[in-house]
Amino acid sequence: MNRIQLAASALSLLLLGAPVAASAADAPACKSVRMSDPGWTDITSTNAIAGVLLQGLGYKQELKLLSVPIGYESMKNKELDVFLGNWMPAQQKFIDALNEAKAIEVLGTNLAGAKFTLAVPTYVAEAGVKDFKDLAAHADKFDSQIYGIEPGAPANANMQKMIDANDFGLKGWKVVESGEQAMLAQVKRAERGKDWVVFLAWAPHPMNETFALTYLSGGDAYFGANYGGADVRTLARTGWAGQCPNAATLFKNLKFDLATENAMMGKILDQGLEPDAAAKAWIKANPAALGPWLEGVTTLDGQPGLPAVKASLGL
């Protein structure tokens, strides 16, 4: 081998071993990710987790508190980039309008198995009340009352419609409109005395961790199939995922479960933590969640994402 060949060989080895300069994963215009929160604690929780991850990756989350209709209109007008709270099938009408306008792209389902219907304490279910049709036979034990949430809530109106129609033999029953916290206080009082109570319940919510409760079957006509079952999807405005593919990969990866959201909501509602603090505390207690969320994701400037986020959290 002559000198030229030796020099070329050495240069090749040096180049193979040399660190390669990172290139930006997303354009600088992608640094700010605009998101909305309709004021629901479950979406506040998932937004907070997303915000902590984005910060660790060098992005900036811009969060706006907007009602669902206004939020979707903002997405249509390209004023928002991502929304983590598309509950389906409940929001189908909104989605139909957005699809007609070619305004959104679905990045994936971030939560499966959500539900929303009537429930009883598990000791009541074990005594024989497992379905809507079981309620009327025990009207005296329930005082012919169903505990709902704040006055004017659509769910309360739905239950009143059921009573007025005498479905399940509930004619004459009363919907107690008491607000979420007052309703749950009533459930807590009932549980202490093993009294009977039927109430509006949903998941995710920390009530599922606080109480041993059983969701009632049979209410499909009023709450939907699978106990008012729903999936929550992640939406992006049309074109955003193509413009910001690295950030879009993060949001495609973001999958939650009921236990995670129950715990996060509990930290915010019961422990009084700020959403950002709740998210950091949950992630530090569950660092294994970071791997799947950050698979194939880099920082904004192209460095490996997982170690960057861990470093930002002191892990």
What does the alpha-carbon distance between residue 260 and residue 205 come to, in Å, rounded to a whole number? Answer: 10
The answer on 37 and 88 residing in a single domain is yes
User: Cα-flanking dihedrals φ and ψ of residue 202, to 5°?
Assistant: -155, 160
pLDDT of residue 245: 97
Q: Say whether 22 sits in a helix, a strand or coil.
A: coil
Place of tokens 């809530």: 153
Mean pLDDT of the chain: 91
The answer on 190 and 153 residing in a single domain is yes
72-111 pLDDT, tens digit per residue, is 999 999 999 999 999 998 889 899 999 999 999 999 999 9
The answer on 297 and 224 residing in a single domain is no
The answer on 277 and 130 residing in a single domain is no
The answer on 234 and 182 residing in a single domain is no
Q: Does residue 9 lie in a domain region? A: no
Contact criterion met (CB below 8 Å) for 207 and 266: no
The answer on 200 and 135 residing in a single domain is yes
For residue 65 the two structure tokens come to 């508190």
Q: Does residue 18 lie in a domain region? A: no
The answer on 298 and 150 residing in a single domain is no
The answer on 199 and 100 residing in a single domain is no
- The rounded percent of the chain whose pLDDT value lies above 70 is 92
Residue 118: pLDDT over 90: yes
Q: Does residue 253 lie in a domain region? A: yes
The answer on 144 and 213 residing in a single domain is yes
The answer on 211 and 124 residing in a single domain is yes
In single-letter form, the type of residue at position 117 comes to T
pLDDT of residue 12: 42
- Confidence tier at 14 by pLDDT (50, 70, 90): very low
pTM: 0.80
End residue of a domain, out of 190, 213, 228:
228
Buried (b) or exposed (e) across 273-287, using 16+ Cβ within 10 A? bebeebbbebbeeee
Contact criterion met (CB below 8 Å) for 63 and 36: yes
Q: Does residue 286 lie in a domain region? A: yes
End residue of a domain, out of 228, 252, 273:
228
Closest C-alpha to 295, from 250, 251, 265, 262: 250
End residue of a domain, out of 170, 196, 228:
228
Domain membership of residue 297 as a residue range: 27-112+230-313
For residue 174 the two structure tokens come to 């009363």
What does the alpha-carbon distance between residue 91 and residue 219 come to, in Å, rounded to a whole number? Answer: 19
Counting the structural domains of the chain, the total is 2
Q: Does residue 19 lie in a domain region? A: no
127-166 pLDDT, tens digit per residue, is 999 999 999 999 999 999 999 988 877 788 889 999 999 9
The answer on 75 and 50 residing in a single domain is yes
The answer on 304 and 274 residing in a single domain is yes
pLDDT of residue 181: 86
| CATH for 126 | 3.40.190.100
| CATH for 38 | 3.40.190.10
Contact criterion met (CB below 8 Å) for 117 and 131: no
Neighbours of 272 (CB within 10 A): 9
